[in-house]
Chains A and B, each alone.
Chain A
Amino acid sequence: MLSPLHHDDPEAFGPYQLIARLGSGGMGTVYMARSPDGRTLALKTLHARIAHDADFRTRFRLEADAARVIGGEHGARVFDADPRAETPWFAAEYLIGPQLGEAVEVAGPLPEASVRRLGTALCAALGQLHHSDVVHRDLKPSNIVITAEGPKVIDFGIARALGDDRLTRAGSQIGTPAFMSPEQAGGLHHGWAGDVFGLAAVLVFAATGHGPFGDGQAAELIYRVRYTAPDLDGVPDALVPVLARALAKDPAERPTTAELRDQLHEGGGEFADDLPGAVLQQIGARAEDIWHVQHERLPAPVMEGATGPPPQAPPGTGKLSRRQLLFAGGASILGLAGAGGGAWALFVRGGGPAPAPYHKPTPGPSVSPLPKKKLDSLWQVQLGGPLGYESPASPIVIDGLAILPSRRAYGVDTASGTVRWTTRIARSWHLASDGKHVLHVVNHEQPPGVTRGLARLDLASGKDRKEIDLRDPSGKLFSVQLLGVSDGIAYLAVLRRHKTKLYEREMPWHVTALNLDSGDERWYEPIPFHPAESDDLHFLAAKVAGNRLVALQHMNDDTVRVNARDLRTGKTVWDQPLKGVEPDQARHPLTSDDKHLYLGVGRLRALRLSDGKPSWERSGRYGPPALKDGKLYVVEEGSGLRCVAADNGKHRWTQRDSYGSRAALTSRPVVGTKYAYAKSTADGVLRAVSLTSHTTHHQYRTTGTRFFADERNKVIIASDDHFLAAFPLR
């Protein structure tokens, strides 16, 4: 929904400064914008390339006028407009809620009470329009926003302005004739009765999840709209006669909006009372998420093989480099939790003018500097997305840099806790690193959907390199998980659906290998179906180990399997169940060397990468193992840290003090040169166990749940979804 500004988006329209993109269609773009008096609103513009066309300009002006006519009760309140500007625009209320199409896609068909409520409100909206001699002409699920107050009608007749060009484009939600009246489809006059037809078609969609004339090629649809009876399968019985009459081919047989309103009306009370929980959740999420939006602008595209200095901001987009903007955005997130002055210092160090318009109040007469934490850690920064946002991705710690994926990715200097850079990432399962870059998935809004690319982020600078489009040749990509990267090849799980619905039971996922330089797909192999109703991801953990891509898969029956594929062909070499392991326990980074995969969920075992056979196993219950210098360090239930030889599983030592019984099986130990460290969740303490005496030497209090060693700066990085902290690694 919300995405950063493009490099060539203007700074402002009139007095309204652009903050982010809300969406873009064939005619124009809608931005989130801020007025000089601090209001946040939606600003709609005509595309610059058609802004000189008199016909489009007229249409745009009519739309702004119609939006004023419908007003704030049934539409988005219009605050301001400049239809005479070089690029015309109008500024309106930002509506908090999903479009009807999105609501039904996520929540499924709406219950009868909601449909009646929706219809009643839409009748009132159309009644008001018709009273002012305005006909909407383009009522459809994507032009209705479901807010807590009621449905709001937007986008008046603008798709029609695009004429035949749009009509011939089949299947897409924009411009589909599925909700068109028969008279409109036949090229005849579409009056108020046409809007009644469109309204009834929308209600059929709301009640069943499909339009009354199905889907398909535009020509077929137009034929069905004009000549065949509507498909009312799934419409609640009491609504069938009402909607059937409103969908009559002859406009004269249809009810007026007032009559239809009377037939639909039921009960009283607030609109929100009858909405299904899933739709309310979408409304609630948007009500909060809008407050997390940062002013951000994408860089100009970089040409392949370009060398030399990074691209300068193109003329006309202001004086700020992307680097500064990213820091500006990141810093205000940091400000949420008082993470320290580090990010602000970067403005100074980065040189160049500070971006005054996006400044947060800095320490000065009325704001005191941030106090020092009195915690056990060397430093701690609180970062991350909105409250309750949990990232499914694990942080990466590599060569002096800790990368915490949240709604954004943060590159944090492990020595100082300073945020070196931040960047947007899609909510993808995994980051992967080849030591020089971090790979991550990015989302681009590109109506009618979202496209995704695989971006390579330079670890040192935080700059993105050229991105690889992840769509297949037909342009489909629904979901993606990054599994690993090795030798210039990235391994991903992708879901490229064709005409499948979100609520379909089984999703056809594939695993694929992509050459990062050429973008070529080396292979594309199916993987077992995944339950669509599960929010859990298909892969619990994955890693490139030796010449295998090893993955733990969460199966439909809630069991876990280990699957190993040949890196060159993608074919499964071996695949076996991991007995007695709960999926939730298996969600840890994998440990391997070039011979074995070491698993510590339940029993501790070393599986041969070549054939999957166990080289050795130890009974008992273990947490995930850490590997260092040929030895595995692992927490065993009841006894604490234990060290075994990686090649044969032979016991080396076990923690000797009673603290061991408290150590948690949930996190992987961290190993230094003198101590191994393990967390006890019972008392929130990270204990350092001496590698020579095997007893607890010292301890740190931490709420972290995941721990990583950074050899370069000799620190342990502790993390949670919302913070990173560092402790000495010795």
Chain B
Amino acid sequence: MAALPISAHPDTGRGKGPYTVLGTLDGEDESGACGIPVPERRFIARSADGHHTMLVSVPLPGTDTDRFLAEATASRHLLGPWASPAAELAADGTDSWHARPYLPALSLPAALRAHNGPLPERTVRALGAALLVTLVVGHGQGLAHAGVSPGAVLLGVRGPRLTCFGAVRAAAEDGTPRSGLPGLESGSLPPEQADGGRPRPLGDLYALGATLAYAATGHTVPERREIPPSLRDILTRCLARDPANRPAPAELLDVLSPLPDTGGSAAADGIPAAEPSDAVSVQERAAVLLTSDWLPGSLVAALARQSARVLTTSLPNRPADPRG
């Protein structure tokens, strides 16, 4: 069965900042993406002149809008092709929202639904490498993502986009237990963050491990034997309860995107090198996996259908008369 490219939503036709909602990226119920929690509501929306179609995020009802906007502001510092920084956001004292230009995208849960099951290993590896590199670049800037979950990952034609920056921090301040808070998917919430600990880079490794396990099996807490053999050990290690037992990013990258030759360890001086070789940048190691066939055909077709549908969706409640 094909995933709904975009769904109608009670908010259709309402304004989010300067944009009018065309539909939601996720399901019309409030339970997130195909039943998987998402820490924000995501709409496809368009400017009144029709020329700008955006992916607009708003906080879940009843959550703290100040914390939501603070994380959106911080997300503007994210770099790299697979990050999803807010391009615009609400001014103080107005409804809370942030937005970036729309591109055809399926959330990871919607992708599994469109594909009728877990994704192929090549897709999981490419996805994992791109998300990992995005996280590592953020870590280099002192930014822990704290919001990696299946619902936060969008798959596009040329690569993923990692959204929901700071969702864990936004859900509750450090020191407050976060288990079971709305929008947080329990399997990808690192135990130390669930207990109220400050999100740190190794927490992102846990959440990434759970998210990749979801992509490969359909569950964020899979049985070990469900995971493809070549990823079994490393993903299990990502999911270690003790952050100290989780792998370094470089180890995970070596498994997801092995270097062609025997990966010589060039990590001199005990630097936590995110890359074992100077010759190939980490970004390239993710990019080489994002070949033009990194997505299964069913997902490319679903993205093309979504694109076609958004192209032909008109702004609601507008007079047919041109140029007003």
Contacts and interface: CB of A to CB of B under 8 A. Distances in A.
A148 B161 contact: no
A366 B94 contact: yes
B244 interface: no
13 contacts: A34-B50, A38-B315, A39-B311, A148-B300, A272-B298, A286-B304, A287-B303, A288-B158, A290-B311, A365-B94, A366-B90, A387-B161, A662-B269
Interface residues of B, number: 80
B87 A36 contact: no
B159 to A, nearest CB: 5
A367 B90 contact: yes
Nearest to B282: A681
B301 A148 contact: yes
Interface stretch (B193-201, B216-224, B230-238, B288-296): B288-296
Contact of A284 (B89, B303, B312): B303
Interface in B185-219: none
Contacts of B283: 703, 720
A36 B53 CA distance: 14
A25 to B, nearest CB: 23
Interface string B289-321: 010110101101111111110011111001011
A366 B314 contact: no
Contacts of A278: 292
Nearest to B277: A681
Interface residues of A, number: 81
Contact of B300 (A93, A284, A370, A684): A284
Nearest to A328: B51
B257 to A, nearest CB: 15
Contacts of A93: 308, 312
B47 A360 contact: yes
A641 B62 CA distance: 56
B58 to A, nearest CB: 13
Interface string B75-95: 011011110011111111011
Contacts of A272: 297-298, 300-301
B86 A338 contact: yes
A722 B137 CA distance: 14
B301 A280 contact: yes
Contact of B314 (A39, A77, A658, A681): A39
Contacts of A681: 275, 278, 281-282
A291 B303 CA distance: 13
Interface string A363-390: 1111110110111000000100011111
Contacts of A147: 304, 308
Contacts of A366: 17-18, 90-91, 94-95
B304 A287 contact: yes
Nearest to A273: B297
Interface of A: 14-15, 34-41, 77, 93-97, 147-149, 270, 272-273, 275, 277-278, 280-281, 283-288, 290-291, 295, 332, 335-338, 357-361, 363-368, 370-371, 373-375, 382, 386-390, 585, 658, 661-662, 664-666, 681-684, 701, 703, 705, 720-723
Nearest to A19: B51
Contacts of A682: 266-268, 271, 273-275, 278
Query: What DSSP secondary structure best describes chain A's contact surface?
Result: loop
Contacts of A705: 281
Contacts of B89: 367-368
B120 interface: no
Interface stretch (B30-38, B99-107, B167-175): B99-107
B47 to A, nearest CB: 6
A93 B310 CA distance: 12
B260 to A, nearest CB: 11
Contacts of B306: 287
A284 B314 contact: no
Nearest to A42: B311
B103 A387 contact: yes
A389 B287 CA distance: 10
Contacts of B87: 335-338
B198 to A, nearest CB: 19
Contacts of B271: 662, 682-683
Q: Which of B79, B92, B318 has the most CB of A within 10 A?
A: B79
A36 B308 contact: no
Given A285-B157, A387-B158, A703-B80, 15 more contacts: A38-B315, A273-B297, A277-B293, A285-B292, A336-B87, A367-B91, A387-B103, A387-B161, A388-B158, A666-B281, A681-B278, A682-B268, A682-B274, A683-B140, A720-B283
A608 to B, nearest CB: 29
A218 to B, nearest CB: 36
B101 A390 contact: no
Contacts of A288: 103-104, 156-158, 303, 307
A336 B300 contact: no
Contacts of A273: 297-298
A288 B53 CA distance: 13
B268 to A, nearest CB: 5
A338 B85 contact: yes
A5 to B, nearest CB: 15
B313 A39 contact: yes
A332 B53 CA distance: 11
Contacts of A283: 300-301, 304
Nearest to B82: A387
Contacts of A389: 158
Q: Which of A40, A278, A666 has the most CB of B within 10 A?
A: A40
A180 B80 CA distance: 51
